[in-house]
Amino acid sequence: GENVEQHPSTLSVQEGDSAVIKCTYSDSASNYFPWYKQELGKRPQLIIDIRSNVGEKKDQRIAVTLNKTAKHFSLHITETQPEDSAVYFCAASINQAGTALIFGKGTTLSVSS
Amino acid sequence: GAVVSQHPSWVICKSGTSVKIECRSLDFQATTMFWYRQFPKQSLMLMATSNEGSKATYEQGVEKDKFLINHASLTLSTLTVTSAHPEDSSFYICSAQLPTGGGAAGELFFGEGSRLTVL
């Protein structure tokens, strides 16, 4: 089955800096890669996703890149703000009916002002 | 986006009792729902896949007789933790999947989560 590795487990940055979180996946059939932000005690919130037919996707300060050959995908947050502080999870799946997302272990991002 | 509602949001029970958690898709029909468990400071671990009208598929290491899943309709799946013990205390989150077809096909939408504390 799919296995998703995520690094780093914790990341501390100064406000305004960039943050990068990296994930690798094992199943070459996976074709859907979402990123979730989770605040304490809350449900995960989808912040951006990418499908295997594109290499990069951007939404304001957030971007995701995908390297299918290397089975890597990364989340980039620019101009970080204190409200970006949360736990971020990457996930992967074969985007078809009945297939669950498999999550990485999460990255705790702390943005200090 | 699609709305998934989960109830109760938190529950405290005594050891040995059973607890039922409901997951509803409010504005779409979900053929498939997934149940995840999240221990403090850990990731979401898939427990089981729930398909409407059929038996759930459990992940390795998840006791199907302890975690009973019922998906009797296209908008409701339930998770019952039977004979709960303190080690079952966790955050349980359901998710519902959009039907196939269309740009958003297969995306998961999460319920609010249910925090179970077993005394």
Mean pLDDT of chain A: 94
Residue A18 neighbours by CB distance under 10 Å: 11
| Span A71-84, average pLDDT | 97
pLDDT given at position A53: 84
Tell me which H or E stretch contains A79.
none
CB contact under 8 A, B106 and A93: yes
Q: Which residues of chain A does B112 touch, with a Cβ-Cβ cutoff of 8 Å?
A: 42-43
Q: Could you tell me if A101 lies within 8 Å of chain B, comparing CB atoms?
A: yes
Please answer whether residues A21 and A11 qualify as being in contact, where contact means their C-beta atoms are separated by less than 8 angstroms. Answer: yes
pLDDT given at position B97: 83
Lowest mean pLDDT, pick from A36-45, B17-26, B96-105:
B96-105
pLDDT, tens digit, for every residue of A22-61? 999 999 999 999 999 999 989 999 999 999 888 999 999 9
Tell me which H or E stretch contains A76.
strand A72-77
Q: Which residues of chain B does A97 touch, with a Cβ-Cβ cutoff of 8 Å?
A: 31-32, 97, 99-100, 106
Is the per-residue pLDDT at B105 higher than 80? Answer: no
Q: Could you tell me if A47 lies within 8 Å of chain B, comparing CB atoms?
A: no
Is the per-residue pLDDT at B100 higher than 70? Answer: no
Phi and psi torsions of B87, nearest 5°: -70, -10
Please answer whether residues A21 and A5 qualify as being in contact, where contact means their C-beta atoms are separated by less than 8 angstroms. Answer: no
Q: Which residues of chain A does B34 touch, with a Cβ-Cβ cutoff of 8 Å?
A: 100-101
Q: Which residues of chain A does B95 touch, with a Cβ-Cβ cutoff of 8 Å?
A: 101
| Span A60-71, average pLDDT | 96
What is the token pair recorded at A61? 């300060």
| Span B89-99, average pLDDT | 90
Query: What CA–CA distances, in Å, run from B79 to A20, B21, B35, B87, B117?
Result: 36, 5, 8, 17, 15
Please answer whether residues B95 and B109 qualify as being in contact, where contact means their C-beta atoms are separated by less than 8 angstroms. Answer: yes
CB contact under 8 A, B44 and A103: yes
Q: Where are the beta strands (DSSP E) in B8-119?
A: 10-13, 19-25, 32-38, 45-51, 57-58, 67-73, 76-81, 90-97, 108-110, 114-118
